[in-house]
Structure 1
């Protein structure tokens, strides 16, 4: 098989997988409006609640992880996927999530190169960190850093990504 055929086959396979993924991705119930304001309302409702995770990370770790992602969009991610990924597969995945209004990803996958999810150690302080991260992002008007997988995103696209990311993680968190 020559290189041209291999590239065509690869492109067609990616389109088929993405198309199948589009229809397989459930919309599910979102806990709030898919906006920065909606996410802040959802987080405000979690204050002073005792929470548990159905599996994987604790609520504290989830809040620290989501805060890291928002903070890294401003300061820069510690590690990036290869440029070819950030120019092809990554944007295609984000486009799929954005069009469906839902994200589905590995809920125990740390951001490559990120600090451990142990600080702050209490649920209340981790939730405050996440709330501060959303507030800082909402007011940030500088240049945003490339997402480690999706590549370059506008402020509006990053806002949507952060909210969908949070909502995906909250799907495993319940009141104790």
Structure 2
């Protein structure tokens, strides 16, 4: 029994190290980790001047998050190897899910994704992201495998998209 507990702890600890020292993450989510919570956060940003503390502009962040949602419906342009999507990827998502927060490299594009240039304006990019969330919320068909986490159901994908958004919003401030 102790050996099993030790092995589980070691595995989760290894995943935490691979995900950027995730256990040190302490910032609270800006709203509940739900599609409705994300909608409220995005509605609160509409029409407000925003800046990014570092890295991508707010428009690029909104386009990146919209891409992720759109790809979950249409298919990601590139997938990590199957062994990754059946081992490390799901383990990392399990840690994020259990913790209720995600930490990942915030300037890393989705593999094979289009450039984050369209739309260029912050308001238009935010509208694209809001539309992607609305489309995802009403989607009842099959979902495409996540490029790293593999197969996710609608609830798990919802959580992944919201945690992803909240992680990126940690670097966006009012101007």
TM-score (norm 2): 0.90
Q: Which has the larger radius of gyration?
A: 1
Alignment root-mean-square deviation, CA = 1.8
1:114-129 paired onto structure 2 within 5 Å: 114-129=113-128
Return the offset for 1:25: 4.0
**Take 2:98 and 2:16, find their aligned partners in 1: how far apart are those partners?**
12
Match of 1:175 in 2: 174
**Take 1:13 and 1:106, find their aligned partners in 2: how far apart are those partners?**
23
Match of 2:70 in 1: 71
Alpha-carbon spacing, 1:48–1:157, altered in 2? closer, same or farther (3 Å) = same
**Take 2:33 and 2:9, find their aligned partners in 1: how far apart are those partners?**
31
**Take 1:164 and 1:25, find their aligned partners in 2: how far apart are those partners?**
16
2:15 aligns with one of 13, 18, 21: 18
In the alignment, does 2:80 pair up with 1:87?
Answer: no
Return the offset for 1:29: 1.7
**Take 1:74 and 1:106, find their aligned partners in 2: how far apart are those partners?**
23
**Take 2:11 and 2:66, find their aligned partners in 1: how far apart are those partners?**
31
Return the offset for 1:17: 1.2
**Which residues of structure 2 form unaligned runs of 5+?**
1-7
Match of 1:107 in 2: 106
| Bigger Cα displacement from structure 2, 89-98 vs 19-28 | 19-28
**Take 1:15 and 1:152, find their aligned partners in 2: how far apart are those partners?**
20
Contact kept, 8 Å, 1:77 with 1:147, in 2: the verdict is yes
**Which residues of structure 1 form unaligned runs of 5+?**
1-10
1:122-176, CA deviations, whole angstroms, 9 ceiling, x for partnerless residues?
Answer: 0000000000000000000000000000000000000000000000000000000
Secondary structure, counterpart of 1:136 in structure 2:
helix
Return the offset for 1:102: 0.3
Contact kept, 8 Å, 1:80 with 1:147, in 2: the verdict is yes
Secondary structure, counterpart of 1:126 in structure 2:
helix
| Bigger Cα displacement from structure 2, 161-170 vs 21-30 | 21-30
Alpha-carbon spacing, 1:162–1:48, altered in 2? closer, same or farther (3 Å) = same
**Aligned residue pair count:** 166
TM-score (norm 1): 0.90
**Take 2:148 and 2:120, find their aligned partners in 1: how far apart are those partners?**
27
